[in-house]
């Protein structure tokens, strides 16, 4: 049984034991100061009182509230409550319990006193009609206000408890649906990024194979490492930072094989990467765009990529030259990668990241800070 259900059962049992203890506290004290709690427990009227309200609580919570009140059948529910109210009015569980307790403890003693007086010659014949049992027969029905008050409390409490449980259940379902939707969106965004990245890398290897480059086999091995990372680890929302760095390193080495001497690459990692995690392909997206839009075989186009591991998080910086002959650069668009990365950052690092992208038509710079 789940811990929550065990806690719920214990709470209900404790609450009803407390409820059943109150009559014992008020009715269990004898006339001579002796405890008559055991006598009260043996009373049929005591158990009728307790079971009546226990029954009302649960039938209202688990039958009338779910099937009538929560489904908008307020008139039917109101009629049911009035019927139950009338039953309690005529049943008078509290008044019957109190009167029965008084009968057991007092009336028999009064009878014994009267018979004793009769035996001693003190005739009470003129007072016979005023004995308690005769007087009870002639009196009109009293309104048991305490029973009705307890009824209203039980109905209100059971309604509030069940309504609160239903509200919490609805909130949990909404939260779960939102989490499932966000997870589906993240999976979709990753699915967009992964083919985009792999497609570009395969094009690079294809170009080397066409030209008969001796580095083609090494490139295939590095691509294999990247694909293993993408397929095995990217399915998680967070992966070890070192895995992301290894993927970036392999990608940079693949790019070194196809670019010329006009594109020096300064790739630096500072700090201890152990025990650090990061959302997969977050940094990879910016690195990919650096090589996609920031290199030229004719012009000097240095690339700088730096990852700094801090106690409080991770800092990433990359910079490349801007070439105005690139349509994507001129329009300020770098494809779906940057847009999807922003969405993933909003989902996975809400309020815990700073992303700054600067483009002054000469250099394109990205500064990203992720808090742990």
pLDDT tens digits in sequence order for the chain, 372 residues long: 566 678 788 888 888 888 888 787 766 554 444 456 677 777 778 888 889 899 999 999 888 988 888 888 889 999 999 999 999 888 888 888 877 766 555 544 555 555 455 555 544 444 444 444 444 444 555 777 888 898 999 999 988 888 888 888 888 877 776 666 666 666 655 665 556 667 767 887 888 788 887 878 888 888 888 878 877 776 677 889 999 999 899 988 887 877 767 789 999 999 999 889 998 888 988 888 888 888 877 788 899 999 999 988 999 999 998 875 544 444 344 556 677 788 888 888 988 999 999 988 788 999 999 997
Whether 120 maps to a domain, the answer reads yes
The reply to whether 349 falls in a domain is yes
- Taking CA atoms, 287 is separated from 94, 170, 219, 238, 276, in Å, by 79, 43, 18, 19, 20
| pLDDT in the model for residue 365 | 93
* Residue 266 included in any domain: yes
**Residue environment code for 59-81, b if the CB has 16+ CB neighbours within 10 A, otherwise e:** ebbeebbeebbeeeeeeebeebb
Is residue 70 one of the residues assigned to a domain? yes
* Residue 154 sits in the same domain as residue 282: no
CA neighbor of 247 nearest in space, from 231, 264, 258: 231
| 112 shares its domain with 19 | yes
User: In this predicted structure, what is the pLDDT of residue 335?
Assistant: 52
Distance CA 232, CA 274 (A): 20
pLDDT given at position 107? 46
CATH code, domain carrying 259 = 3.30.565.10
Residue 310: per-residue pLDDT: 92
In a domain, 204, yes or no: no
CA–CA separation, 322 and 320 (whole Å): 7
The domain boundary residue, chosen from 172, 204, 233: 172
Answering whether pTM is above 0.85, one says no
β-pairing, 265-270 with 303-309? parallel
Does residue 162 sit in the same domain as residue 280? Answer: no
Q: Is 285 part of a structural domain of the chain?
A: yes
| 267, 365: one domain | yes
d(CA 171, CA 160): 16
Angle at Cα 18 formed by Cα 148 and Cα 52, nearest 5°? 40
**What does the block give as tokens for 243?**
């895995």
Question: Cα–Cα distance between 317 and 47 in angstroms, integer?
Answer: 76
Does residue 189 form part of some domain? Answer: no
Dihedral class, residue 333 (left if φ above 0, else alpha if ψ from -120 to 50, else beta): beta
Residues 217 and 364 placed together within one structural domain of the fold: yes
End position of a domain, from candidates 106, 140, 172: 172
- Number of independent structural domains in the chain: 2
| Structural Rg of the chain based on CA atoms | 41
Q: Is residue 110 part of a domain?
A: yes
pLDDT at residue 132, rounded to an integer: 45
Domain ranges, residue 308: 213-371
Q: Pick from 123, 145, 172: which residue ends a domain?
A: 172
């Amino acid at each position: 049984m789940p811990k929550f259900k065990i806690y719920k059962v214990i709470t209900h049992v404790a609450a009803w034991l407390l409820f059943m203890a109150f009559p014992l506290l008020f009715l269990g004290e004898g006339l001579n100061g002796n405890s008559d709690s055991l006598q009260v427990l043996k009373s049929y009227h005591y158990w009728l009182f307790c079971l009546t309200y226990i029954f009302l609580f649960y039938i209202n919570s688990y039958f009338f509230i779910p099937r009538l009140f929560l489904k908008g059948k307020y008139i039917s529910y109101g009629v049911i409550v009035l019927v139950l109210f009338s039953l309690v009015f005529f049943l008078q569980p509290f008044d019957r319990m109190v009167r029965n307790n008084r009968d057991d403890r007092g009336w028999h003693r009064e009878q014994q006193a009267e018979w004793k007086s009769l035996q001693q010659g003190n005739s009470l014949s003129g007072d016979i009609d005023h004995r308690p049992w005769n007087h009870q027969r002639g009196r009109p029905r009293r309104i048991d206000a305490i029973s009705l008050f307890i009824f209203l409390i039980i109905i209100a409490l059971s309604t509030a408890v069940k309504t609160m449980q239903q509200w919490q259940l609805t909130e949990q379902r909404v939260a779960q649906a939102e989490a499932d939707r966000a997870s589906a969106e993240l999976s979709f965004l990753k699915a967009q990024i992964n083919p985009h990245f792999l497609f570009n890398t395969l094009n690079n290897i294809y170009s080397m194979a066409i030209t008969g480059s001796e580095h083609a086999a090494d490139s295939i091995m590095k691509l294999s490492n990247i694909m293993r990372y993408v397929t095995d680890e990217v399915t998680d929302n967070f992966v070890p930072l070192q895995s992301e760095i290894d993927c970036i390193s392999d990608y940079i080495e693949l790019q070194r094989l196809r670019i010329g001497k006009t594109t020096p690459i300064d790739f630096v990692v500072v700090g201890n990467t152990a025990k650090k995690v990061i959302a997969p392909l977050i940094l990879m997206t910016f690195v990919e765009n650096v090589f996609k839009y920031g290199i030229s075989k004719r012009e000097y186009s240095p690339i700088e990529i730096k990852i700094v591991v801090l106690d409080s998080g991770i800092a990433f910086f990359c910079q490349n030259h801007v070439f105005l002959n690139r349509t994507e650069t001129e329009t300020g668009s770098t494809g779906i990668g940057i847009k999807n990365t922003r969405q993933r950052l909003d989902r996975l690092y809400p309020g815990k990241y700073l992303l700054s992208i600067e483009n002054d038509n000469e250099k394109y710079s990205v500064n990203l800070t992720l808090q742990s």
